[in-house]
Amino acid sequence: MAFNQTRISLGGYVSSSGEGVSVDSINQILAGVTQLSLRGSTNLAGVCVDANGNLYLTDAIKNIILRIGNSGVISVIAGASGVSGNNGSTTVTAANARFNYPTGICCDRNGDLYVCDTKNNQIRKISNNKVSLVAGAASTATGTANGVGSAARFNNPYDIDTDKSGNLYVADTYNHSIRKIVGGTVTTMAGLSGTTGNVPVWANMTTAYGVYGTVARFSFPYGVACHPNGYIFVSDTGNHVIKRVDPAGNVRIFSGSGTYGGSLGTAKTCQYKDLKFSDVDPSGNLYIVDYADDSASRLVRVNGEGVPGNVINFATSLITESNYLAAVACTASGKLMVVQSEYMLEEYSSSSSSSSSSSSIDSSSSSSSSSSIDSSSSSSSSSQSSESSSSSSVDSSSSSSSESSSSN
């Protein structure tokens, strides 16, 4: 399959006055891979793309939400740079919103943004220049309770995605569970909150459906990604596997032997290290970040049979050793937006060592490339600010799709 890839290497964006951003350079670094560098330093975590091609990113350290518009204008749309805090259950203007280590982010069909406010143990919504609490304790307390809005509890949720119906799915990482939010009501879809484990494994796969959701067990699930057919892919990071939840709530192991490493192979024999954020393209392929603290991070494409293949081996293509692969999002046209970041502040990372074997860049990489995110004109979504035109844009494809991608 041919595809376009865009790597966004963001070197920071907030000026000394606390506002504004500027593009340093747009460089072709590989066939089909474009690097966008911004001025300053950065701590980027999650990324998502709306139906109009606008890109949204979280800065976990500076506690702000960033937008790169389809004309290339970059702006901070929520939070105050370098200021952490908690607004509780109060709805505030975006400028007055305070976050504490925001990570995963997704955009729904209406253009509203949802953010994992990780260290506040909350899910926040950005809409019409307002930030509100969707779920989680106003006091930032941790817990495992299901419930409506502020009655629900999370424990360091790291990623979030939305399906085409607008339902939200959360990787409740330190509760080792996958949570579902429908109309503000939080339930546990898979796993047992607060309990770690690894169920199912391949030996348990006596049926194609695996096990029912509450029987499943995860270990520090870091990422979730929604498939167009209703499946939820889970980065079961501590178990080094990818699991899949079907629309009926059944959980099966999808890819990975469970052994820490970098070898490719079949769905049952392949190895992963620290699986992070992921997204699904319009064709149903899963793209997932496999992080390694030895600079051997890679972006992996996993097909519908669970068989992986390296898209990019970042051990050979990172600009500097201090950078690492953070997150990925797919546009409606199938273009990949890959975030390269500098921060290393992770509260969980597998400590297992391995003799990883990484493949080179996938030979199916498209030779077409672009230094734009989207040149199509569109009305801004409800969470975006108005922008002036810029000479740098980041995607030459336009889409009328109403379904957006996450990543986390």
Distance CA 375, CA 397 (A): 7
Which residues, 6 or more positions from 17, have their beta carbon under 8 angstroms from its beta carbon?
none
* Pairing verdict, β 102-107 and 113-117: antiparallel
pLDDT in tens, the chain (408 residues): 222 334 444 443 333 233 333 444 444 334 344 444 444 435 778 999 998 888 898 988 889 998 887 766 778 899 998 899 999 999 999 999 999 999 999 999 999 999 999 999 999 999 999 999 999 999 999 999 999 999 999 999 999 999 999 999 999 999 999 999 999 999 999 999 999 999 999 988 877 788 999 999 999 999 999 999 999 999 999 999 999 999 999 999 999 999 999 899 999 999 999 999 999 988 899 999 898 765 677 889 999 999 998 777 665 554 444 456 678 888 887 777 777 665 433 333 223 222 233 222 232 333 333 323 333 333 334 444 333 333 333 333 333 333 344 445
Burial of 181 (0-12, 13-18, 19+ CB in 10 A): buried
* Pairing verdict, β 122-127 and 113-117: antiparallel
Give the position of tokens 């498209």. Answer: 366
Distance CA 70, CA 53 (A): 6
pLDDT score for 38: 46
Closest CA relative to residue 177, chosen from 123, 219, 119: 219
Burial 241-264 (b: 16+ CB within 10 A, else e): bbbbbbeebbbbbbbbbeebbbbb
Neighbouring-strand partners of residue 48: 56
Residue-by-residue DSSP string for 307-346: -EEEEEETTTT-SSTT-EEEEEEE-TTS-EEEEEE-----
Which long-range CB contacts under 8 A does 18-22 form with residues at least 24 apart?
18/80, 18/81, 19/76, 20/75, 21/66, 21/74, 21/75, 21/76, 22/74
